Amino acid sequence: MVETAPNIDTGSSAQMANGAVAQSENNPFKDLIKQLESYLSNEDIQLISKAYEFGAKAHAGQKRQSGEPYIYHPVSVALILADMHMDADTIVAAILHDVIEDTPTAKDEISSLFNPTIATLVDGVSKLDHINFDNKQAAKAASFQKMMLAMVGDIRVILIKLADRLHNMRTLGIMRPDKQRRIARETLDIYVPIAVRLGINTLRMELQGLGLKALYPMRYRALSEAMRKSRGNRKEVMNKVEITVSAALEEQGVYSKVSAREKTIFSTYRKMLKKKQRFQDIRDLFAVRIVVDSVDQCYRALGMVHNLFRPVPGTFKDYIAIPKANGYQALHTNLFGPHGLQIEIQIRTEEMDQFAESGIAAHWRYKTDSEASLDAQSRLREWLQDLLELQQRAGNSEEFLENVKIDLFPDEIYVFTPEGDIIELPKGATAIDFAYAIHTDIGNSCMSVKIDNDMAPLSTQLSSGQTVSIITSSNVKPNANWLNWVVTARSRTAIRHYLKQLTNKDAILLGKRLLKQALLDYKIQIDEIPNNSLKIVLEEYGYNEINDLFMAIGLGIRMPKLVARRIAPSSQEDVSPQKDQNKIQIKGTEGLAVSYAKCCYPLPDDKIIGVASPGRGIVIHQYRCKNVKSALREADKWVDLEWDDQLETTFSAAIRVTTNTERGVLAQVASTIADSDCNIEHVAHTLGDNEGSNMNFVITVTNRKHLAKVMRRLRNRKNVHRVIRIRS
């Protein structure tokens, strides 16, 4: 007779409403309580009972497809986890795992009624429910598994999700056949590999069996029928082997638990596929597990069974010395048993046995005393540490870390395209990285982004599970700022490539203008360069076409005057240059091929000169800047420039402001500058003399008049002693 749960408040109205349900013999809650009593404290069980009441109320009136009250499902999930001896928080979260998803109950409410850990666990499970695996993406299953692991901060979320899936698989029969197949495929592709990785083998085996049954019902039925038929004398053999082995070990003083079992239908099916064998040809249909006290006795037991039955050559595997990547340890060997049947023998210690059955969950088992206070992450670390030690003893720790750690603490995030494809990106990746990951053209024209249907800035960092949709526009161009926002090499390369192309385009235009100007000295129009002299020049310089030559000039690699001299017919060589008429006009729209010197910050109306700087194009200085003095001595290093009349851009200018040392002076100066329609690009404080302190500003202005106005305003402030423009 099953005892009823202690401390259930049967007085509440919800409980009354569910009274009939609670007493129904199908209600798994009684079994849950019974199981919990075997390992949890009364206090924990009270909390779990409270969760049951809460959940029953939240799901009141909802029914599963089978017609049963909905609450049976989460309680069954909790029971699966209780069988694994999971802690109270996990059990409570399992009972509540569908309340955020299916009812209006919010995370905050769970947090205040129970505790924040439980709220986080429930929320984590709900988030996983939002990502839907689609059959079309079977090939992406591996990414999907990683995505699930990447999304959870607490591995107990995965354990609840696995238990949830197991219960859904157990009750799958009620669904339409096509739905059954879809869920079964998802189970085998996504959930089983996760269970394998975490070493949760008992649960994994059941999922595999149920998955096979739902996906290939005919094959499953045929196989189980065949196994049933051939079972006849096998059962006898199994018993005999069990007794023989157990007696022999006892005689040698080795305490052991020996159990013979049939191999699962799934593993038999897989073996048939892998070895392309018919059922009749599969020889090792059952296994005998021997659990002993110590590692030492494992090897002794192995020697003894090899004495009893002849081993099958090449089948011995020492997973104790070299554990599997998920920590599985045992000795495996195949023996020739009676009647030509093969027997697989698995020998391991009690501890290894527990590990083999529940893997990581074994480390989450409810622990008493001080250990109970260990939080989830420390348990995970503890588990990893144990595995690491195992592997180090076996001498292959690197392989282990590759296998386990990467997937539990992934450095990647996984996001969806609107079509449901999964894109893998490094942690910290932004919407721009996402755009470039899809296609360079999308990246180059991305204007804005929708993350889970909400507009967001392009620089937003993405996180796993989000659906990301990029909005493009032909008006958008990548700019150098984007380089600060991207983390993938792919985006960075694409942006740099684009900017370089842009520079090249600008350089061609500028180069053409510079050459055109230089040719005026020889009274040659650029479109009238004689074909053969152009050909000779291009050949000499090693360019294929005239645009290459323009680009080289624009980038400051070739001097326009030298090129002009080469092009000009020798008869005109002594034409005297008429410099003043031949100045290039600077319009401020030359793009990246022209830059403004940061030593003297030339402004419109300043007298200027251009200095060719290989790779950087033409750098514009003030004519009186001391940095151009040496270039001026070589006629070919510089070009004459003047400002165009219509300039619509802004320029940088440098000023030094000397003030007294009163507090708040910087703020006053800054606001004066801002009030004059200027941006402050840069401020540097330099040491002043005894009069006060010096501040160097780089500000944006439209021309010299604008600058003069700002300086006048600054001088009018009472704390300002002196304002000067810095010219190199």
Where in the sequence numbering do the catalytic residues fall? 101-102
**Smallest distance from the beta carbon of 667 to Mn ion, in angstroms?**
59
**Smallest distance from the beta carbon of 103 to Mn ion, in angstroms?**
12
Q: Which is nearer to Mn ion, 126 or 297 (CB)?
A: 126
Q: Does 521 bind Mn ion (CB under 5 A)?
A: no
Contacts of 78-81 with CB under 8 Å at 24 or more apart are: 78/32, 78/48, 78/163, 79/28, 79/31, 79/32, 79/35, 80/163, 80/166, 80/167, 80/203, 81/159, 81/160, 81/163
Number of amino acids touching Mn ion (CB under 5 A): 2
Question: According to CB under 5 A, which residues from 97 to 126 bind Mn ion?
Answer: 98
- Judged by CB under 5 A, which stretch of 92-100, 399-407, 445-453, 614-622 contacts Mn ion? 92-100
User: At residue 538, what is the residue type?
Assistant: L
- Judged by CB under 5 A, which stretch of 94-102, 401-409, 617-625, 666-674 contacts Mn ion? 94-102
Q: What is the spatial distance between Cα 420 and Cα 447, in angstroms, rounded to a whole number?
A: 21
Q: What is the spatial distance between Cα 228 and Cα 224, in angstroms, rounded to a whole number?
A: 6
Q: Nearest to residue 501, comparing CAs of 596, 589, 590, 593?
A: 593
Q: Which is nearer to Mn ion, 98 or 189 (CB)?
A: 98
**Smallest distance from the beta carbon of 6 to Mn ion, in angstroms?**
27
Binding mask 390-419 for Mn ion (x = CB under 5 A): ------------------------------
Question: According to CB under 5 A, which residues from 459 to 518 bind Mn ion?
Answer: none
Q: Which is nearer to Mn ion, 78 or 356 (CB)?
A: 78
Beta strands 720-725 and 651-659 are antiparallel
Q: Which is nearer to Mn ion, 48 or 486 (CB)?
A: 48
SS3 342: strand
For tokens 């075997």, name the residue.
38
Q: Nearest to residue 295, comparing CAs of 323, 316, 326, 334?
A: 323
**Smallest distance from the beta carbon of 164 to Mn ion, in angstroms?**
4
**Smallest distance from the beta carbon of 73 to Mn ion, in angstroms?**
6
Let me know if 164 is exposed, middle or buried by CB neighbors in 10 A (0-12, 13-18, 19+).
buried
Residue number with the smallest Cβ distance to Mn ion: 164
**Smallest distance from the beta carbon of 114 to Mn ion, in angstroms?**
18
Q: Which is nearer to Mn ion, 164 or 407 (CB)?
A: 164
Q: What is the spatial distance between Cα 560 and Cα 554, in angstroms, rounded to a whole number?
A: 9
**Smallest distance from the beta carbon of 64 to Mn ion, in angstroms?**
10
Contacts of 472-475 with CB under 8 Å at 24 or more apart are: 472/435, 472/442, 472/445, 472/446, 472/447, 473/445, 473/447, 474/445, 475/447
DSSP symbols for 47-100: HHHHHHHHHHHHTTT-B-TTSSBTTHHHHHHHHHHHHTTB-HHHHHHHHTTTHH
SS3 286: strand
Question: According to CB under 5 A, which residues from 150 to 169 bind Mn ion?
Answer: 164
Q: Which is nearer to Mn ion, 125 or 302 (CB)?
A: 125
Pair 329, 356: CB distance under 8 Å: yes
Greatest alpha-carbon span in the chain: 120
- Judged by CB under 5 A, which stretch of 95-103, 108-116, 283-291, 525-533 contacts Mn ion? 95-103
Angle at 399 between CA 397 and CA 405, to 5 degrees: 85
Q: Which is nearer to Mn ion, 59 or 289 (CB)?
A: 59
**Interface with Mn ion (CB under 5 A):** 98, 164
